[in-house]
Amino acid sequence: MPPDDQSRRIGPAPGRLALWSWALYDWANSAFFTIILTFVFARYFSQTVVGDEVAGTQAWGNIVGVAGAVVAVLAPFLGAIADRGGRRKPWLLFFTLLCVIACAMLWFVRPTADDLWWAAIWVGVGTLGAEFAFVFYNTMLPDLVEPKRLGRWSGWGWGLGYVGGVACLLLALFGFVQTEGPIFGIEIDREQAEHVRATFALVAVWYLVFALPLFAFTPDEPSKGLGPGDAVRSGLKQLKESVRNAREYGDILKFLVARMIYTDGLATVFAFGGVYAAGTFDMSQTGVLRFGIAINVAAGLGALALSWVDDWIGGRNTILLSLTGLIASASAILVVEDVVWFWVFAVIIGIFVGPLQAASRSHMARVAPEHLRSQMFGLFTFSGKATAFAGPLLVGAVTAATASQRWGMSTIVVFFAVGFALMLTVPTADAAGRGNRRIRDRARNESAK
């Protein structure tokens, strides 16, 4: 890749302690999504707090949907403001603590419908904290490593995230939920579900402890000297200017649209994978949990293993490779009848999920103009949330129309295929870098006037 302003750094390059401290934040953050949003609290909320599977699922969908919509709308604004202020750590710290506090507050959600609104509020707050924190976390990556190493560090971070999520889940299950005696010597009231509620406090501690190295050892960009009010005004002005000049970022917009489509496919895999396993292959609850753990472990290992491929062939081509693997394995899993082959192709799907997500981040890190990185990662977050409802709705509609889970899940392949076709129109980071230098020079000339 030709030299680009994105690789400039003031002072010496960060050492391995700084970089691994950055990657460890992925490990910390993933506990919220694994325990709270996917495996433990989501089920506790629908089955125990609400007390009705259908009503609970509907209420949970509304909570997550509203929080996701707020994230999608506000992420680009927050990114633009951070770009004008310079520093990322204060934003990252604020939203990290917001999520940590929210998780701690979920301890007080008792197994009664009286606590439904308390649960809804703090799950929503926690989701905002975790998602917004990730915007600023992602933005730090291109400031820490040169473009030729972005792939491996994005992959290592994403791989640590998956492995950390599984590690926290296993600790929650075997250290809290399924234990019979006291927890760490403390007697608990199982009738009040304290053995389950303790896992929410575990997430708060886990997130806080493993996030600390980033704040201690990973360097931040210097402040640009703007106060909070000036940074807000300047950031909003910059965002308006970016919208007016959207054509100049056409290649990035193509990528974001492609990512929006294939991310809908990924979201649907995670939302309905367990449902498909249970319904089509008659898998038990324990089997579904094992399935979820296997997918996450495979995704983590895939992200770690293919991180080197990303640096070799580039993020865009790694995305195309991953989508090819997902289209092939997802198509196969729709036609197999034997549960053994289901497991084989499910693990293959997991192997390509991690690299797809990691390569998406590294591609954005390579192509985002230096002066708009946080804003672009805000749009990156937007692209992952804006149409997240589409996949589940389409699966539900096709399943109802055909009375077949296989036909319903086949829509996932369509999302991956459309995303693949759109990514073919996206240039490599080399070509995007030349356009970025032109945009950067124009921005500097305008600032000088």
My answer on whether 185 and 298 are in the same domain is no
Range of the domain at 75: 14-219+230-244
> Which of 25-29, 59-63, 272-276, 408-412 is least confident?
272-276
Q: What is the mean pLDDT of residues 428-446?
A: 56
Q: What is the CATH number of the domain that holds 420?
A: 1.20.1250.20
Residues 149 and 291 in one domain: no
Alpha-carbon span 449 to 446, nearest angstrom:
5
Q: Please give the residue that has the higher pLDDT: either 387 or 150.
A: 150
H/E stretch holding 380 reads helix 373-385
Residue 299: both structure tokens together: 């995704």
Alpha-carbon distance 9 to 335, whole Å?
51
Residue with more model confidence, 336 or 404? 336
Tens of pLDDT along 380-411?
A: 777 777 777 677 778 777 877 888 878 888 88
For the segment 363-367, the average pLDDT, to the nearest whole number, is: 87
The pLDDT > 90 percentage for the chain reads 32
Least confident of 103-107, 266-270, 333-337, 442-446: 442-446
One domain, residues 192 and 303 = no
Position of tokens 């997430």? 203
User: Looking at the structure, do residues 275 and 207 belong to the same domain, yes or no?
Assistant: no
The 8-class DSSP code of residue 404 comes to -
pLDDT digits (tens, 9 = 90+) for 209-261: 999 999 999 998 776 666 666 666 666 666 666 666 556 778 888 998 999 89
Domain count, the chain: 2
Claim to verify: residue 186 and residue 263 sit in the same structural domain:
no
Query: Which of 249-253, 333-337, 442-446 is modeled with the greatest confidence?
Result: 333-337
Give the pLDDT score at 12: 58
Query: So what's the pLDDT on residue 7?
Result: 41
How is residue 127 written in tokens? 């989701």
Q: Is 336 helix (H, G, I), strand (E, B) or coil?
A: coil
Domain membership of residue 266 (yes or no) is yes
Q: Give the residue, 360 or 178, on which the prediction is more confident.
A: 360
- Are residues 272 and 199 part of one domain? no
Instruction: Report the mean per-residue pLDDT for the chain.
Output: 82
Least confident of 113-122, 277-286, 391-400, 439-448: 439-448
pLDDT at 432 over 70: no
pTM: 0.81
pLDDT at 9: 46
Higher pLDDT, 120 or 226: 120
Q: What is the pLDDT of residue 146?
A: 83
pLDDT at residue 8 in the model: 43
Residues 399 and 32: their CA atoms lie apart, in Å, by 30
Tens digits of residue pLDDT in 131-142? 999 888 988 888
Residues 363 and 432 in one domain: yes
Q: How confident is the model at residue 73 (pLDDT cuts 50, 70, 90)?
A: confident
Give the per-residue pLDDT at 223.
Answer: 67
- pLDDT at 446 > cutoff 80: no
14-45: b (≥16 Cβ within 10 Å) or e: beeebbbbbbbbbbbbbbbbbbbbbbbbbbbb
As given in the structure block, the two tokens for residue 204 are 């708060």
If asked whether residues 389 and 278 sit together in one domain, one would say yes
Domain membership of residue 225 (yes or no) is no
pLDDT in tens, 77-101: 777 777 766 678 988 999 999 999 9
Identity (one letter) of the amino acid at 100? V
The verdict on residue 296 lying in a domain is yes
In a domain, 224, yes or no: no
Are residues 315 and 210 part of one domain? Answer: no
Q: Is residue 291 part of a domain?
A: yes
256 assigned to some structural domain = yes
Check residue 203 and give its pLDDT.
96
Would 7 be classed as within a structural domain? no
pLDDT at 438 (0 to 100): 53
Rounded to an integer, the average pLDDT of 283-300 is 80
Cα dihedral 168, 120, 158, 347 sign:
positive
Chain centroid to Cα 320, Å, comes to: 19
18 in a domain, yes or no? yes
Q: Are residues 43 and 150 in the same domain?
A: yes
Report how far residue 377's alpha carbon sits from residue 369's, in angstroms, rounded to the nearest whole number. Answer: 11
Pair 431, 301 in one domain: yes
| Same domain membership, residue 239 and residue 251 | no
Residue 301 has pLDDT above 80, yes or no: yes
**Host H or E run for residue 220:** none
Q: Judge whether 416 and 330 are in contact, CB under 8 Å.
A: yes
